[in-house]
Structures are given as structure tokens and as C-alpha cells.
Amino acid sequence: MLMIEDLRVEVEGREILHHVDLEIKQGETHALFGPNGSGKTTLLMATMGFPSYHISGGRILFKGKEITNLPLNERANLGIGLSFQRPPTIKGVKMRQMLEICGKGERDIESMARSLDFEGFLNRDLNDGFSGGEIKRSELLQLIAQGPEFFLLDEPESGVDLENIALIGSVIETLLQREIQIKEKRSRKQLKRERRKSGLIITHTGYILDYLDADFGHVLVDGELACSGNPREILKTIKEKGYDECVKCCGI
Amino acid sequence: MAWKREEKKALAKEAREKVATYGTDINVEAYSPETGAHPYQEDLSSFSQDEREQMLKAGVDLAATNRSGTFVQKDLSVVHSRSLQEGMEIMDVEEALEQYDWLHEYWWKAVPVDMDKYTARVELHQEHGYFIRSLPGKKSIYPLQACLYLEEENLAQDVHNIIIAEEGSELHIITGCATAPHVKHGLHVGISEFYVKQGAKLTFTMIHNWSENMAVRPRSATIVEAGGLFLSNYVCMQPVGTLQMYPVTHLVGEGATARYNSILVAPPGSVMDVGARVFLKAKGARSEIVSRAITTGGKIIARGHIVGEVPGIKAHLECKGLILSDDGVIHAVPELEGHKQEVDLSHEAAVGKIAQEEIEYLMARGLSEEEATATIVRGFLHVEIEGLPQELKAEMDRAVEISEKSLL
């Protein structure tokens, strides 16, 4: 689904990502770990196509199509969706209107908002005065409306209180089609095969992994992918021994 | 009428050459002071298609059923004037002067007759204008509408309007100024004096739809008594040659409130110098001045001045400008003036281009750069106005929408 090859990205003339390779297949969810400033957000932003994240080398393919030089909106329309960490406030543009934009006017906004307990915000200016947790819910709601095939989620759990983290976790689980439907007598393998949605999730704390299983984990250090493997094991190592040890374990 | 008219006229004569504080000085002699009279039109459906369309762009809907009264002045003739609700008066101001001898007490009470050459000119050359009044305790069910229309090329239209919301009444007005499509030049000087009595509420929405070379010099002032509310909205998103106005409100009674909202869009060649000034003279007075300005090549000076004269008042000034062309200029001049310790005055001003971050946010949701820009500009122009009746909000939205199309 997403193939990143030998990617180099510059921000304000400084190379942040060096020769990153990453493949995410359809139906897979990958978790991205890494210390502050290691380039995690840069990887997401460059994949989405923000112009200030300049791709100086390598290429990005999505569904087999090269998107390295495509503008943001074209990537969005191909099926990539991103949740912003710190989205801007846009005065005069209502939450409802933004959801109409995301859903191209074809979605039932009221019921979507209800699923995230967000109906009260529909007539508010976009992100105006929203708390950290409200921003997360707003971003997820926009993604629900947008319905991308591939999700780029930047720390979806940060700033969310304990009460809401389960809600957010389960919404992401649904978005990525990772909920296990016990009633249906299908094996995990079958479910996995039927799963269409994929994603790359930055997580600092790993809390989000309590709510959904990621297939793979990666550790980004100083702009390079230092380690890949089982996300829970990686998280455990990072928590117990820190990033340095984790990278050593990976044998780099 | 032995009242002080002669005195006023004498003052006006002396101020005939007095250059205004703001705005380029206009050679008023270049405009024709007279033209032929237009016949009275009892039936609103008898107005031509052109007239209706031009008026509609200025928020005056001759076909609407949700209006409590209509006044139309074409050039120098009052061609229609009728109230549809008891307790709401709308008429030719000269007729009102004959009908009510107390009206002279309001004449040049809020606006000084010798303020500048334009006020002086209106006293010396005035041709009509409207008188709108809500009787004590009466509430207008629908807004009243008034239109000042220019059909004659290069004419000077000098009008004097008096608006009174009597005690405890509620009055909603929409006024539109428009020119016929063929009119390129002209001068419009409109004096408007507003009186909001105790506990009354007056909302006044004015939409201007001029042409490229019009010179416009409105002169307005308002006096608000205790517990009164004055809400003024101004929309000018169509080209104009030179427009300058700096309306003033005096909040003289305890708890009096004034709010000004203005939405300005200046295309290349247009100069708009628009502000609002509020004097807070009584305890508990409140005021808010909000302006949104966009230039696509023209010049906008957005002024605001709040003067806190007594303790226990609160006022805020907000001015935001978007520059969509490097040929345009937005000059924000917010002024706060406190005369006592216990005043609470604040302002917020920002002028610049659309934030790239906002455009990218919308693009990440699938909009093209142009669509994203349009969405942000539309949001910018969408000012939420508390206390505005539905009909007026709809007219404002419509005016904004019409202009957006040419803007984007």
C-alpha cells in the first residue's frame, strides 16, 4: 500500500530524514517510536506532502503510484489521511463545514459526531479554544468523514485524559478495521486478509497499543530507521532500557 | 418653523469650506446639485428590473413580505414610503418635520452641523432623507428597509436621516445605498442621527453597493440612553471611488451598549477609510467594535477609537485585515483612550496574508489550494453578530456571498 524508498527529507535546508525505507502492506498497522526530534513527525508530514518538508531524495509510492511530488490534496484524494498534532484554528469555518469538506458532503455528520460525543462542537469555529483531547476527537472525526485507506496518526493519545483514551482507542481501532468481531466465526487470519485499511501511528507512550494491535513497530533515531520488529517487544525494551539499549538490541 | 434652523444654517455657511479631518478632499462643485423629479411609486412591483437587482445587492428587497416598512429615495425624490406595522413610522424626513414640531430638537443634535464641509453642505442643500421611528414599547416584527438610490450620472445626493427608537422599543432597520448600473460618478453625503432611548434596542444594517468612481461621505452619530442597545453593521464589498466615514456613538446612560461590525472589501482603485468611535460616558457602558477588511488591490484604513470617560466601563476593539494582493494596503488604526483608572479597554489587530498552515490543513482534507483559500476567506468574512434578526442576517450573508463570487 505504502512504499517508502531511500527517502531523504529536508526541513528549512537541514536534512532530517536520511535514507529511510519502509513498506506498509494493505491491512497492516505500524507503530513508529523514537525519541523527540528523531524525525517521526517529519516522516508523516513528508508522506502526506506538506511543502515545507522537502523531499531531497528517494521516492514514495502509494498503491503502486509514485506520489513523491504530488500536492497535499491529491494525496488526500488518493486515500491518505493525517491527524494533526497541533492543527491551526480557522475562524469562521465551522466544525460542521470542515466535516462536510472531509466527507465531500456525502456523510451523515450528526451521527458521526455522536459517535465521538462531539455534537456540541459542530457549530464551533474549527479548533477554536479546543482542549488537547477535543483536538484529538476533532481530528479523528475529520478522518472518519474523510474515510481514507491509509492513516497517518501523530500521537493520537497525547493530551487525552484517561476517560477519553479508551474512546479514542476504540475509534482508531474501528477506523483501522482492527476490532475483533467474536460473533463472526472467522479466524484472525481471515480477518486480517479482509482488512483493507492501513496505518502508521506515532506513539510516544505506547498507550494506544493497549487498544489496537499493531503489526510492526519501528524505531526512528536521528532520522534513520534503527530497528523494526514486534511493536510490543520494542515498546517493552524502550520502557525498560531506553532507546539506546533498544537500538543496540536490534543489532545496529 | 422658527426654531434654530437659521442658527444651524449660519453655522453651516461658515463651515462650507471646512476640510474634513479624514479622507481626500472632494470638490463638491464638480457634481450636479439638481435633477428632474421622479414620480411616486405606490406599488413596489412597478420598480424596474435593474432597480430591484441593484437594491437587492444592497439588502433592500422590494419583493419581500418580511419587511415592516419600506422607504425608497431615487436621486432627489422620495418615490416610496410606507409603514406596514402600527407603531413603526417610516417617512420622508421633511414630511416628518412638518408633522412633528419636536423633531427640530433632534436635528443636528448628534452630528455637529459644522463638522466639515459635507455636513454643512447637507444643511444648505439637503434633499429629503428618511425618518424612522419606533413608538414607545413597540417592537418591529420585521425589519424596516430604506434605500437611497442614484440613477442620475454625476449627481450630488445630500440626505438627512433621523432614526429614533423610543423608550423600551425595538427597531430593526436595513438600509441599502446603490447606484444604477450606468452610473459611474456621483457624490453621496448622508447624515444619519440615531437616538436610542431608555431600554430601547436599535439594530441598523447598512449595505453599500456603489460604483467605481463614487465619492461617499456618510456622517453619522448615535446617542444611547440608559439600558439602550445600538447595533450597527456595515457591509461594503463592492467597488467605490472614495469612501470615508467615522460614525460616533455616545453612550450617555447607565448600561448603554454599542456594537459596530464592519465588513470591507476593497478592489483595485477603491479607497475606504472606515471606522467607529465610541464614547463611554456612563457607568456600566459597554462597547465592541469589530472590523474585517480584505484588499484585493485597494486601500483600506480601518479606524477604531474607544474613549472610556468614567469608571466601570468596558470596551473592546478588534480589527483584522487580509491582504490578498501586493498592490493593496490595509492600515489599521486602533485607539484606546482611558480617562479613569477603572476602565477596561482592549484591542486586537492583525493584518497579513492567509496563514499557509490553514491552507495546508484544508488541503490535507482534499481541497485544492484555491478551494482552501476561498473557504478561509469566506470564514474570515463571516462575522457572527449577536442580536441580529434572521432576516437581516440573511441579507448580510447574501451581500457577502454575492461579493465573494467576484472576489475569489
* Of B300, B294, B285, B212, the residue nearest B249 (C-alpha): B285
At residue A213, the pLDDT reads 82
Residue with cell 459542530: A122
Contact between residue B251 and residue B280 where contact means Cβ atoms under 8 Å apart = yes
Residue B398 confidence (pLDDT): 80
Q: Which of A73, A82, A91 sits opposite B367 (nearest CB)?
A: A73
Contacts of B378 in chain A (CB under 8 A): 92-93
- Closest C-alpha among B234, B247, B224, B206 to residue B119: B247
- Residue ranges of B 340-399 with Cβ closer than 8 A to chain A: 355, 357-358, 360-369, 372, 375-376, 378-383
pLDDT at B271 over 60: yes
Give the closest-approach CA distance of B263 to chain A in angstroms. Answer: 13
- Say whether pTM exceeds 0.90: no
Instruction: Quickly state the pLDDT bin for B397 (edges 50, 70, 90).
Output: confident
What pLDDT is recorded for position B171?
A: 97
Top residue of A90, A126, A153 to mutate, by most chain B CBs within 10 Å, is: A90
- Chain B positions touching A50 (Cβ under 8 A) are 360, 364
Which member of A72, A98, A102 has the closest CB to residue B363? A72
> What are B189's strand-pairing partners?
B158
- Cα–Cα distances in Å, from B233 out to B172, B180, B218, B262, B396? 11, 23, 14, 6, 9
SS3 state at B40: coil
Mean pLDDT of B290-296: 95
Q: Is B234 in a helix, a strand, or coil?
A: strand
For B87-100, the pLDDT digits (tens) are: 999 999 999 999 99
Find, among B362, B377, B408, B379, the residue nearest to A73 by Cα.
B362
* Whether pLDDT at B319 is above 90: yes
Nearest-Å Rg of the Cα atoms of chain A is 18
The per-residue pLDDT for range B9-39, each reduced to its tens digit, is 999 999 999 999 999 999 999 999 999 999 9
pLDDT band with cut points at 50, 70 and 90 for residue B335 = very high
pLDDT value for A74: 97
Q: Convert the pLDDT of each residue in B59-112 to its tens digit.
A: 899 998 899 999 999 999 999 999 999 999 999 999 999 999 999 999 999 999
Q: In the predicted model, is pLDDT for residue B222 greater than 50?
A: yes
State the smallest CA–CA distance between residue B368 and chain A in angstroms: 6
Please give the Cα distance from B1 to B105 (Å, whole number): 12
* pLDDT exceeds 70 at position A249: no
Q: What is the pLDDT of residues B159-187, one digit of tens each?
A: 999 999 999 999 999 999 999 999 999 99
Nearest Cα neighbor of B407 from B355, B332, B354, B360 is B354
| pLDDT > 60? residue B125 | yes
Q: In this predicted model, which residue has the larger pLDDT, A123 or A195?
A: A123
Beta-bridge partner residues of B158:
B189
3-state percent helix, strand, coil for chain B, nearest multiple of 5: 20, 40, 35
Distance, CA of B335 to CA of B27 (rounded, Å): 30
User: How does residue A207 score in pLDDT terms, banded at 50, 70 and 90?
Assistant: confident
pLDDT at A185 over 70: no
Residue ranges of alpha helices (H) inside B291-389 are 356-363, 369-381
Distance CA B387, CA B200 (A): 13
DSSP A188: H
Residue A66 pLDDT: 95
Rounded CA gap, B37 and A151, in Å? 70
Pairwise CA distance, residues B9 & B3, whole Å: 11
Which residues in chain B are contacts of A81 at CB distance < 8 A?
A: 364
Q: Predicted ipTM?
A: 0.92
| Residue among A86, A51, A43 at smallest CA distance from A72 | A51
A86 in contact with B, Cβ within 8 Å: no
Name the nearest CA neighbour of B282 among B315, B258, B312.
B312
Indicate whether B233 pLDDT > 90. yes
Of the partner residues B363, B365, B380, the one whose CB lies closest to the CB of residue A102:
B365
Chain A residues whose CB is inside 8 A of the B367 CB are 73, 101
For chain A, the 3-state helix, strand and coil shares in percent, each to the nearest 5, are: 35, 30, 35
Angle at B351 between CA B349 and CA B353, to 5 degrees: 145
The Cα A165–Cα B380 span in angstroms is: 34
Q: Pick the residue from chain B with its C-alpha nearest to A82.
A: B364
Kindly report, residue by residue over B242-260, the tens digit of the pLDDT.
999 999 999 999 999 999 9
Cβ contact B364–A90 (<8 Å): no
Q: Does A98 touch chain B (CB under 8 A)?
A: yes
A 18-57: CB under 8 A from B: 48, 50-51
Of A110-119, A231-240, B130-139, B207-216, give the range with the top mean pLDDT. B130-139
Tell me the residue type at A66.
Answer: E
What span, in angstroms and rounded, lies between the C-alpha atoms of B393 and B336?
A: 29
Asked if B177 and B146 touch (Cβ cutoff 8 Å), the reply is no
Give the strands of the sheet with B69-74, arranged side by side: B77-83, B69-74, B144-150, B170-179, B201-209, B229-236, B257-266, B286-295, B313-323, B343-352
- pLDDT on residue A252: 47
